[in-house]
Structure 1
Amino acid sequence: MRIWDIDPGYLNRQSLLGEHRELHAIFVVLTQHKKGYAAHPETRRWKGHLAALGKRHDLLVEEMRLRGYNHHSPLPVVTGEIKWPKTFIDPPHAQFAILQEKYRDKEPGRIPLPSSARQLWAQHKYSVLARDTRLYKIIGPWLAATDNPLRFRALAKILVRTLRFPPAAGRLQNGLDHMWGYVSHLAGRSGSKQSPRQLLQLTRELAASGNIAYLLASTALGEVGAWMAPQPLSTALDAHMATGEGDKYALGYQPPF
């Protein structure tokens, strides 16, 4: 039983769906005081952190939907402040090593497992930009000086902790605008009149259809959606069809990850 701390984009299909299933099991143990797995370290780690467990569920579901997987098992709504566990079963840098071994000769996740701190940073840049512009400006020069296992270890923990904060509206828009810059030439129209949710969805679709590798390997392509308010269905459909490619997606087009 494991709840990962790194972004769900690194998980392959089996691990992603497996974590979703195990998260539900932990939630039941904690809310219904079941004995099964009550003494498991992962269960104990999340005791008193139900709102954060619910947010991790949101992140898993957002990644599942990005990959075209169906989701029909919502968690009960948990109110209150989101307080994340202070401890890790394995530190973030070690979680990448675990997956590296686990996925040997197996299908990978959406995002390639990073082999250096610079690659790890490239995958997280827009997630950080959507939260902390000062940190965004610091990390690049810090890694330009040197890229070694110690910096990978430190950066992995910094990124996990940073992505646990909700993006402020203005910074979120800034991150989305930077991502939009990679696909705007494919849209044939401006993204300025789109809501954040619409802009993210359109960016996802264009990144997939245009095979924009940098965005497809970005944590922000998935995770920022988990922090947005759900979009009304009618608005979503209008925006979807307005791309001129609504029929293609309605007929079952799946992104290449």
Structure 2
Amino acid sequence: MRLWSLHPRHLDRQGLTGCWRESLLAQAVLAGRTQGYRAHPQLERFRAQDAPLAAVGAYLEALAEEATARGYRFDRTRIDEAPGHGPRPALIPVPDGQLALEWEHLLAKLEQRDPERWQRERLLAAPEPHPLFTVVPGPVASWERATR
């Protein structure tokens, strides 16, 4: 499961659709609808929120917005707690070390899967975070299992 801290605009088609599927799975885990992945470390930052389902709903909504901008149709009715149905979740801190690790990870994937996108993305000075996250100084997150 990879719930990217990066803005969805950086993801290629496979990354965006994969993140959508995995985020829906994360939502199902947080809602108690599935037994699998309950201990997945990527869920720690959502569980730490006052309203975990609202946080994952905001995460999913940003993915759906990017999909719409690209002409894809993600089924927003699958979002349990879509933004606008209660208080907006607080921004979740993401360490700049975590964002850098994910950026390296994504660039390696793009180089193989989408060389044209890789050429554009690798020239960016710094990636943007997902709208649910705010960047703070710090190392790779404690929940991260990937290595550099």
The TM-score, its normalising length taken from structure 2, stands at 0.69
Q: Which runs of 4+ in 1 moved over 6 A?
A: none
Between the aligned partners of 1:83 and 1:101, the Cα distance in structure 2 is 31
The 3-state SS of whatever aligns with 1:82 is coil
CA contact (8 A) 1:26 1:43 kept: yes
Match of 2:108 in 1: 101
Higher Cα Rg, which structure:
1
Which residue, out of 155, 160, 163, partners 2:129?
Answer: 160
The 3-state SS of whatever aligns with 1:63 is helix
Change (3 A) 1:68 1:81: closer
The 3-state SS of whatever aligns with 1:99 is helix
Change (3 A) 1:102 1:71: same
Change (3 A) 1:60 1:111: farther
CA contact (8 A) 1:5 1:160 kept: yes
Unaligned runs of 5+ in 1: 121-155, 166-257
Q: Larger RCO: Structure 1 or Structure 2 (Cα < 8 Å, ≥ 6 residues apart)?
A: 2
- Identity over the aligned pairs, expressed in percent? 27
Change (3 A) 1:82 1:94: same
More strand by share: 2
Query: Number of aligned pairs?
Result: 124
Between the aligned partners of 2:91 and 2:117, the Cα distance in structure 1 is 24
Q: Deviations over 1:166-204 (max 9, x none)?
A: xxxxxxxxxxxxxxxxxxxxxxxxxxxxxxxxxxxxxxx
The TM-score, its normalising length taken from structure 1, stands at 0.42
The 3-state SS of whatever aligns with 1:32 is coil
Q: Following TM superposition, by how much is the alpha carbon of 1:109 offset from its aligned partner in structure 2, in angstroms?
A: 4.9
Q: Following TM superposition, by how much is the alpha carbon of 1:87 offset from its aligned partner in structure 2, in angstroms?
A: 4.7
Q: Deviations over 1:39-71 (max 9, x none)?
A: 000122211332222111111111111111122
The 3-state SS of whatever aligns with 1:103 is helix
Match of 2:24 in 1: 24
